[in-house]
Chains A and B, each alone.
Chain A
Amino acid sequence: MNRLKDPSHKGLLAKLHLDGPLLAGLLLLCITGLFVLYSASGQHWDMMAAHSTRLVIAFGAMLFLAQVKPQTFSFWAVPLFLAGTAMLVMVLAFGHVGKGAQRWLDLGFMKFQPSEVMKLAVPMAVAWYVSSHPLPLKFRHLIIGFIMCAIPTVLIQQQPDLGTSILIFVAGIFVLFLGGMSWRIITALALIIPVGCYSMWLFVMHDYQKRRVLTFINPESDPLGSGYHIIQSKIAIGSGGFEGKGWMHGTQSQLEFLPERHTDFIFSVFSEELGMIGVLFLLALYAFIIARGLIIASRAQDNFSKLLAGSITLTFFVYVFVNIGMVSGLLPVVGVPLPLVSYGGTSMVTLMAGFGMLMSISTHKRLLAQQ
């Protein structure tokens, strides 16, 4: 604590363009995640090593982007968005099929998931567009912004990857919301959304996605089939109780009744082993990071920075809520990892890259504004 207050160390953080509270929250979250993963993977050291490596890469990406000025993000927003959209089209045309979905682009030396780029490119581009107009937005600007969100969403949905397409869509919509989308339109959307959902059900959604929704409504209808995941997950969470069964002592997880326990369902392992006390701690940690992100957004100097920071932060929240909601039976299973805790590479790097942008926004202030 004393060290953090030490002016020379503050200086170091400032020199590295890092936001102290946000960094502390992220580090604490990642360390918590490592402990949970150690248990959830069944003490799998190879997995731990791979995860740690990715953490290092992710923090490296964060550190790198923290050095970049927000204006640079603004400058690259549109080219990145266009390139990303082009790559999404290419994925659909010649992408690599893995696990039944076409998400990967083989670049020869590495496989690459363009939808990850779009997670940042979409809010950047929409923020750029919105910030080039006075706020709050006019209706026609809103429409153009909406189309910018919709194009990549539809392309990713075709892969099919419902989780990512939702995240990308909301990232763009958050920019529009923060940019002053009128309450009338928001209310209208709230009325239109049920209709939209139904038409998605009819025309857009794939069978496996429909099954997930049906299973979500009544998981016990198919306990050995598609309902198995959610039933086992709820058993894990519920049997954990208030205090939990103890780290590495969850029976659902350690005896492998819980599927996908180190990836999408890691929150169930956490709940089973650390109980409601642990869950409250984890939620508090997420709430702290989100609060800090919104404070950074609110203190940002220009609209682009505000909108981008706000969108990244709120999208991070959506990650958390969708994941926890789906494993605890509040939402259908859509395949979103628990951010910075679940095992899985690309999404973690993208998330930390987003936090790097937040750091950059938080630490690069123009002198003009300080007057």
Chain B
Amino acid sequence: MIKRRPSIQDPAAESQMFNQRALFGFVVVMICFLVVVFNQYKLQVVMHDHYVTRADGNRIKLIPQPPNRGLIYDRNGILLAENRPIHSVELIPEQVKNIPEMLAELAKLIEISPERQQEFLKEVKYHRRFVSIAVKEHLTEQEVAIIAVNQHRLPGVTLEARLTRHYPYGELFTHAIGYIGKINAKELDKLEEEGVTANYAASRDIGKIGLERYYESQLHGQVGFQQVEVNNRGRVIRILDSKPATSGDDLILSIDMHLQQKAKELLGENRGAIVAMDPRDGAVIAFYSNPSYDPNLFVHGISGKNYRELLESPDRPLVNRVTQGVYPPASTIKPHMAILGLEHGTVTEQSRIADPGFYKLPNYSRPYRDHVRWGHGWVDVYTAITKSCDTYFYDLAVKLGIDRISDYMKKFGFGSRTGIDVMEESAGLMPSKEWKRARHKQNWFPGDTVSLGIGQSYWSTTPMQLALSTAILLNDGLKPTPHMGRYFRNQLKDTSLIAPLERVIEVKNPNNWQISKEAMRQTLMVQGGTGFNAFKGISYSAGGKTGTAQVINMAANQKYDANAIKEIHRDNAMFIGYAPAENPTISLTVTVENAGGGGSNAAPIARKMMDYYFTRQSAAGAQP
């Protein structure tokens, strides 16, 4: 525009130019401010909700609150599993300047093993921010006091108390109730699968075995939450909202603590199992497997040495003999076999066989010996059961055939799990032709059927299966579901765990049940019965059947001599029984490993259990 630049100052032109420039500057300023306003509008109005969410994400944290685990009581209201406060000394790594130094300081005050110190330093590396880690758990009262008085010189170190499980009766209920322990990776995966991980946000423990595992979801309860406002260092400024945790339901068992104690006392040093059940509804009154072990060791985290000891012990205390111990049922299943024989018409109430002391398959020369070498003479179904005549049942079994036996005995629950409320259960084995072909690549031999008649051969059962089959027999074919848990209780209501009976066996002639039961009554109540000596002088009526299970096969002519063979090869003593005979309220299943004959070793235990049970009942009845 201006072609010739003035060489001398021209105030008016200069001033005009300056004003133009200043105005231009101001326009730029206003444009910039408009940009700022537009940006503020975008952040504060358009994206407001997004940033509110993020601001809340910064400041609001959910702190899960663990629920109290439901307590477990016996039928008398005696506490069997309780929650006790334990103390631990914990440390928040972000709040401790020198962790190894602090650890050394703590180790001067309370005992912390060098292994634990190493382990702790590893845990520090993998922990969540601002979450405290336990340096030592299960502090003694003295240790709590030492930490408490030194707290002022231990910044970042805190004493924490939380509830943990305690089993006041120790080993008495380990196999029944089980125990809880720290949640492991596998269990975490399972929780995730079930979609309940959130409910375990604050929980450290989970039911590992027994009732604690079976009823985990009801016992655990519902996690609670505290919604808190935190600052940038994770410190809680205030509580915004809270939803308290809901305690797990209390579990009331049908188990009687006193009878359980009696079972333990009676088994003493012997390996074995005792089940006491109310046959009317399957309620388990005693559930004891010997030897046992202290479940509290597992709650606190068992040491490697203690665990190895349990694992390697020849007595195998970790095995739950009630539901995992598999034994040949031996003569205890003779009453069941009799029902099949009567139902099928193979035998009748009056039919008899001659027992010379052995049985021979047609066209075979090998004798199958009776336990009485000279035989029982003429034997009917009653004598066959009361005196436990083997020959009678060898004959019956062969006449019935494997298929029929296998099918019918499965209806009594043999070969499948009973559905008792523990998960550690074996199905036992009810052999069949198909099973043998698949398992042993062999055909079923007639000889296999012979010994099946007296509950030997491949047949194996758990004590719980025997107890259930007895209950089915006593209920004339109605099957209860065995259970230790009777009901759950919370503030609102009780929830029964008793399932209705289910018909599993239909009979043509209901009297057949009575024949078998009468024979069992006579076994205990009539002179000459195999259980008569054991039940001599009882004040009530009872029925039952003894069994003596061979652990090793004998040669045809070999005589069994308990003293001549190793203890673990001796016979298992078996017994099933019930009382009162007419209308049973309790049934007993006793298995004593390698103890010898069932009549002299298992039956007396059952008798003492019954005596104790009825004495306590009449005492309780007399009280009010």
Contacts and interface: CB of A to CB of B under 8 A. Distances in A.
A177 interface: yes
A259 to B, nearest CB: 9
B19 to A, nearest CB: 5
Pick from A239, A255, A307 the residue with the most CB of B within 10 Å.
A239
Contacts of B306: none
A151 B594 CA distance: 104
A36 interface: no
Contact of A287 (B10, B25, B30): B30
Contacts of A251: 55-56, 58-59, 229
Nearest to B51: A238
B440 interface: no
A256 B23 CA distance: 42
Interface string B11-52: 001110111011101100110110111011101110110111
B55 A138 contact: no
A276 B44 contact: yes
Interface string A298-323: 10000100110010001001000100
B42 to A, nearest CB: 9
Interface in A125-140: 134-136, 138
Contacts of A303: 14, 18
B12 to A, nearest CB: 11
Interface string A178-197: 10100000000000000000
B232 A298 contact: no
B21 A236 contact: no
A255 B59 contact: yes
B346 interface: no
B21 A271 contact: no
Nearest to A306: B18
A294 interface: yes
A234 B25 contact: no
Given A178-B18, A237-B44, A257-B232, A252 B58 contact: yes
B54 interface: yes
Given A178-B22, A275-B44, A329 B39 contact: yes
A138 B22 contact: no
B185 interface: no
Contacts of A286: 33
A62 interface: no
Given A239-B55, A255-B232, A256-B231, A328 B43 contact: yes
Nearest to A276: B44
A134 B26 CA distance: 24
A257 B58 contact: yes
B22 A135 contact: no
Contacts of B26: 290-291, 294
A144 B594 CA distance: 113
Interface residues of B, number: 46
A177 B28 CA distance: 13
A255 B48 contact: no
Given A138-B5, A178-B18, A330-B39, A321 B32 contact: yes
A282 B14 CA distance: 34
Contact of A134 (B6, B15, B45, B55): B6
B37 A283 contact: yes
Contacts of A256: 231-233
B39 A235 contact: no
B66 to A, nearest CB: 27
Contact of B43 (A178, A238, A287): A238
B18 A321 contact: no
Contacts of B229: 251, 255
B622 interface: no
B9 interface: yes
Contact of A242 (B9, B45, B231, B233): B45
B55 A242 contact: no
B501 interface: no
B29 A271 contact: no
B230 interface: yes
Contacts of A136: 5, 17
B45 A298 contact: no
B7 interface: yes
A121 interface: no
A232 B5 CA distance: 54
A357 interface: no
Interface in A222-247: 232, 234-242
Given A255-B230, A256-B231, A238 B58 contact: no
Contacts of B5: 134, 136, 138
A276 B7 contact: no
A202 to B, nearest CB: 28
A297 B486 CA distance: 95
A55 interface: no
A133 to B, nearest CB: 9
Contacts of B13: 135
A236 B26 CA distance: 30
| Closest 7 pairs between A and B when the two form their complex, measured CB to CB | A238-B51, A239-B55, A255-B231, A238-B43, A239-B51, A256-B232, A135-B14
Interface of B: 5-10, 13-15, 17-19, 21-23, 25-26, 29-30, 32-33, 35-37, 39-41, 43-45, 47-48, 50-52, 54-56, 58-59, 229-233, 237
7 contacts: A237-B44, A238-B50, A242-B48, A251-B56, A287-B33, A294-B22, A328-B43
